[in-house]
Amino acid sequence: MQNTLGEKIRNLRKEKRFTLDKLAELTESSKSYIWELENKNPPRPSADKLAKIAEKLDTTLEFLLDEGAHVSKEEATDAQFYRQYRKMDSATKEKIRQMVKLWGDDT
Protein backbone atom coordinates (compact mmCIF):
# COMPACT_ATOMS: atom_id res chain seq x y z
CA MET A 1 0.00 0.00 0.00
CA GLN A 2 1.35 3.39 -0.97
CA ASN A 3 1.42 6.26 1.45
CA THR A 4 0.32 9.58 0.10
CA LEU A 5 2.18 12.76 0.89
CA GLY A 6 -0.47 13.71 3.43
CA GLU A 7 -0.36 10.34 5.19
CA LYS A 8 3.42 10.47 5.44
CA ILE A 9 3.38 13.98 6.90
CA ARG A 10 0.64 13.07 9.38
CA ASN A 11 2.36 9.85 10.49
CA LEU A 12 5.76 11.49 10.95
CA ARG A 13 4.21 14.48 12.73
CA LYS A 14 2.40 12.20 15.16
CA GLU A 15 5.54 10.11 15.76
CA LYS A 16 7.28 13.31 16.84
CA ARG A 17 4.21 14.25 18.89
CA PHE A 18 3.87 17.54 17.03
CA THR A 19 0.48 19.17 16.83
CA LEU A 20 -0.60 20.83 13.62
CA ASP A 21 0.15 24.14 15.35
CA LYS A 22 3.67 23.05 16.36
CA LEU A 23 4.65 21.81 12.89
CA ALA A 24 3.20 24.96 11.35
CA GLU A 25 5.24 27.09 13.75
CA LEU A 26 8.46 25.15 13.11
CA THR A 27 8.06 25.41 9.34
CA GLU A 28 6.80 28.99 9.18
CA SER A 29 3.53 27.74 7.72
CA SER A 30 -0.06 28.12 8.73
CA LYS A 31 -1.96 25.42 10.58
CA SER A 32 -4.48 25.33 7.74
CA TYR A 33 -1.69 24.75 5.18
CA ILE A 34 -0.38 21.74 7.13
CA TRP A 35 -3.94 20.44 7.54
CA GLU A 36 -4.55 20.76 3.80
CA LEU A 37 -1.34 18.90 3.01
CA GLU A 38 -2.40 16.08 5.31
CA ASN A 39 -6.03 15.90 4.27
CA LYS A 40 -6.63 17.35 0.82
CA ASN A 41 -3.52 16.16 -1.02
CA PRO A 42 -3.04 19.40 -2.97
CA PRO A 43 -1.53 18.79 -6.40
CA ARG A 44 1.16 21.49 -6.17
CA PRO A 45 2.47 22.01 -2.65
CA SER A 46 5.25 24.55 -2.21
CA ALA A 47 8.69 22.94 -2.58
CA ASP A 48 10.13 25.38 -0.05
CA LYS A 49 7.49 24.52 2.55
CA LEU A 50 7.83 20.78 1.91
CA ALA A 51 11.60 21.02 2.35
CA LYS A 52 11.11 22.75 5.72
CA ILE A 53 8.54 20.13 6.75
CA ALA A 54 10.89 17.30 5.77
CA GLU A 55 13.73 18.86 7.77
CA LYS A 56 11.62 19.29 10.93
CA LEU A 57 10.30 15.72 10.60
CA ASP A 58 13.87 14.36 10.20
CA THR A 59 13.24 13.00 6.75
CA THR A 60 13.86 13.99 3.15
CA LEU A 61 11.82 15.63 0.47
CA GLU A 62 12.45 12.54 -1.66
CA PHE A 63 10.76 10.33 0.96
CA LEU A 64 7.73 12.59 1.24
CA LEU A 65 7.25 12.76 -2.53
CA ASP A 66 8.09 9.11 -3.29
CA GLU A 67 4.82 7.47 -4.27
CA GLY A 68 6.33 4.14 -5.25
CA ALA A 69 7.87 3.40 -1.84
CA HIS A 70 11.35 3.31 -3.34
CA VAL A 71 12.77 5.29 -0.41
CA SER A 72 12.34 3.73 3.01
CA LYS A 73 11.67 5.81 6.09
CA GLU A 74 14.95 4.62 7.60
CA GLU A 75 16.93 5.58 4.48
CA ALA A 76 15.33 9.02 4.52
CA THR A 77 16.13 9.51 8.22
CA ASP A 78 19.75 8.51 7.60
CA ALA A 79 20.00 10.83 4.60
CA GLN A 80 18.59 13.73 6.62
CA PHE A 81 21.07 13.03 9.44
CA TYR A 82 23.97 12.97 6.99
CA ARG A 83 22.87 16.27 5.46
CA GLN A 84 22.89 17.80 8.95
CA TYR A 85 26.24 16.18 9.73
CA ARG A 86 27.85 17.63 6.60
CA LYS A 87 26.97 21.14 7.78
CA MET A 88 28.63 20.68 11.20
CA ASP A 89 32.03 22.11 12.08
CA SER A 90 35.05 19.80 12.25
CA ALA A 91 35.14 19.64 16.06
CA THR A 92 31.50 18.52 16.27
CA LYS A 93 32.04 15.92 13.54
CA GLU A 94 35.02 14.54 15.45
CA LYS A 95 32.95 14.22 18.64
CA ILE A 96 30.27 12.30 16.75
CA ARG A 97 32.87 10.00 15.18
CA GLN A 98 34.32 9.30 18.64
CA MET A 99 30.86 8.49 20.05
CA VAL A 100 30.18 6.09 17.19
CA LYS A 101 33.56 4.43 17.73
CA LEU A 102 32.78 3.96 21.43
CA TRP A 103 29.44 2.35 20.59
CA GLY A 104 31.18 0.04 18.15
CA ASP A 105 33.66 -1.04 20.82
CA ASP A 106 30.81 -2.56 22.85
CA THR A 107 30.23 -5.35 20.32
Give the mean pLDDT of 80-85.
Answer: 77
In this predicted structure, the answer to whether residue 79 has a pLDDT above a threshold of 60 is yes
- Could you give all domains of the chain from N- to C-terminal order, each with its CATH number? 5-105 (1.10.260.40)
Query: Does 3 have pLDDT greater than 70?
Result: no
pLDDT digits (tens, 9 = 90+) for 25-42: 999 999 999 999 998 866
3-state secondary structure of 12: helix
59-85: burial string, b at 16+ Cβ within 10 Å, e else: bbbebbebeeeebebeebbebbeeeee
Candidates 52, 72, 77; CA nearest to 37 is 52
What's the mean pLDDT in 56-75? 79
Give the HSE-up count for residue 12: Cα atoms under 13 Å, Cβ half-sphere: 27
- Residues 10 and 38 sit within 8 Å (Cβ to Cβ): yes
User: Mean pLDDT of all residues in the chain?
Assistant: 83
4 secondary structure, DSSP code: P
Give the pLDDT of residue 1.
41
Q: How far apart are CA 59 and CA 65, in angstroms?
A: 11
Q: What is the pLDDT of residue 66?
A: 79
